Amino acid sequence: MYGPLRVLSDEAEAAAQIKRDMPIMVVMGNSPYSGHSANKGQWIKNLLKGKDTLTGRAEENYFRCDGKPLGERNPKWLNDDYVKFIRWAQWRIQRTGAGILAMITNHSYLDNPTFRGMRQSLMNTFDEIYIMDLHGSTKKKEHCPDGSKDENVFDIQQGVAIMLMVKLPGGQPK
């Protein structure tokens, strides 16, 4: 092959080699936000609490921080669908050994004390974490830096954030 076809062929071959030799998991999405989740599977409930019933291994625990129970009177927000999706994605990337998690989510986990175990778990798992808080919660009554009303980019009541988390290959568990 010559010219542009050769370039395309070389690029396709290089991409195939990377896919074959470097198994990188990418999980991305916009999961539902539902504080009263209908997804009540026992496996994900156990995983949120640090028990992987598929492998029998101890895992990161969203209901503990610094090894101690959260002590929250009502930790139900840790059972929100978006939290379950993040936990599943984290588990899947841990199984692969490297990967990227990119999601648009409810932003409550960023500053709500109930989520401190989740935040610690994510920091323990991922090597790089990038968060863009888009704010926009009608419940928090936030304002823009110029004093104007903070409006949600998706025309929903719940504030949102964009997360990008990277687990590098060959890294040791933190």
What pLDDT score was predicted for residue 102? 97
Does 155 have pLDDT greater than 70? Answer: no
91-134 pLDDT, tens per residue? 999 988 899 999 999 888 999 999 999 999 999 999 999 999 88
Amino acid at 2: Y
What pLDDT score was predicted for residue 164? 97
38-51 pLDDT, tens per residue? 778 899 999 999 99
All structural domains of the chain with their residue ranges: 3-167
Q: How far apart are CA 85 and CA 90, in angstroms?
A: 9
* Residue for token pair 């080699």: 17
What pLDDT score was predicted for residue 158? 76
* pTM across the whole model: 0.78
Q: What are the φ/ψ torsions at residue 90 (nearest 5 degrees)?
A: -60, -45
What pLDDT score was predicted for residue 123? 96
* DSSP for 111-162, written as a single string: T-GGGHHHHHHHHHH-SEEEEEEEE--TTTT-B-TTSPBP--TTS-SS-EEE
> SS3 for 68?
strand
